Amino acid sequence: MSNVLIVGETKNGELKKISKELSTAGRKIADALGGKVIALVIDDKSDAISGELKAVGADVIVNAKASEFNPEGFANIVSAVAKAKSATIILMPHTPQGKDYSPRVAIKCNAGIIADTVGLSVDGGKVVGKKPIYSGKAYGNFKLTSDVQIFTVRPNSQEVIEKAGEGVVEASSEGFGDVKVKTISTDASGGSKVQLTEASIIVSGGRGIKGPENWPILQDLADTLGAALGASRATVDAGWIPHSHQVGQTGKTVSPNCYIACGISGAIQHLAGMGSSKYIVAINKDGDAPIFKVATYGVVADLFEVVPALTAEFKKVLG
Ligand SMILES: Cc1cc2nc3c(=O)[nH]c(=O)nc-3n(C[C@H](O)[C@H](O)[C@H](O)COP(=O)(O)OP(=O)(O)OC[C@H]3O[C@@H](n4cnc5c(N)ncnc54)[C@H](O)[C@@H]3O)c2cc1C
Q: Please report which helix (H) or strand (E) contains residue 268, including its range.
A: helix 268-274
Q: Where are the domains of the chain?
A: 3-171, 201-318
DSSP 64-103: E--SS--HHHHHHHHHHHHHHTTEEEEEEE-SHHHHHHHH
In this predicted structure, the answer to whether residue 281 has a pLDDT above a threshold of 80 is: yes
pLDDT (tens digit per residue) in 126-179: 999 999 998 888 999 999 999 999 999 999 999 999 999 999 999 999 999 999
Report the C-alpha gap between 289 and 183 in whole angstroms.
45
173 C-alpha vs ligand 1 centroid, how far in Å?
Answer: 50
Report the C-alpha gap between 195 and 152 in whole angstroms.
19
CATH of 3-171, one of 3.40.50.970, 3.90.1150.10, 3.40.50.620, 1.10.10.10: 3.40.50.620
Q: Please report which helix (H) or strand (E) contains residue 152, including its range.
A: strand 149-153
Using CB distances shorter than 6 Å, the residues near ligand 1 are 206-208, 232-235, 246-251, 263-265, 267, 269-270, 273, 283-286, 289, 302-304
100 C-alpha vs ligand 1 centroid, how far in Å?
Answer: 28
> How confident is the prediction for the chain on average, in pLDDT?
95
Could you identify the atom of ligand 1 that is nearest to the CA of residue 210?
A: 38
| Residues 252/267, Cβ–Cβ less than 8 Å | no
192 C-alpha vs ligand 1 centroid, how far in Å?
Answer: 20
Domain 201-318 matching CATH 3.40.50.1220: the answer reads yes
Could you identify the atom of ligand 1 that is nearest to the CA of residue 234?
A: 23
Residue owning the nearest CA to atom 47 of ligand 1: 286
pLDDT (tens digit per residue) in 290-311: 999 999 999 999 999 999 999 9
CB within 8 Å of 272: residues ≥ 6 apart: 132, 135, 136, 248, 249, 253
268 C-alpha vs ligand 1 centroid, how far in Å?
Answer: 9
Which three-class secondary structure state does DSSP give residue 142? strand
242 C-alpha vs ligand 1 centroid, how far in Å?
Answer: 16
Task: State pTM to two decimals.
Answer: 0.85
Instruction: Answer yes or no: same fold for 3-171 and 201-318.
Output: yes
Q: How many residues does the chain have?
A: 319
Q: How confident is the model at residue 197 (pLDDT cuts 50, 70, 90)?
A: confident
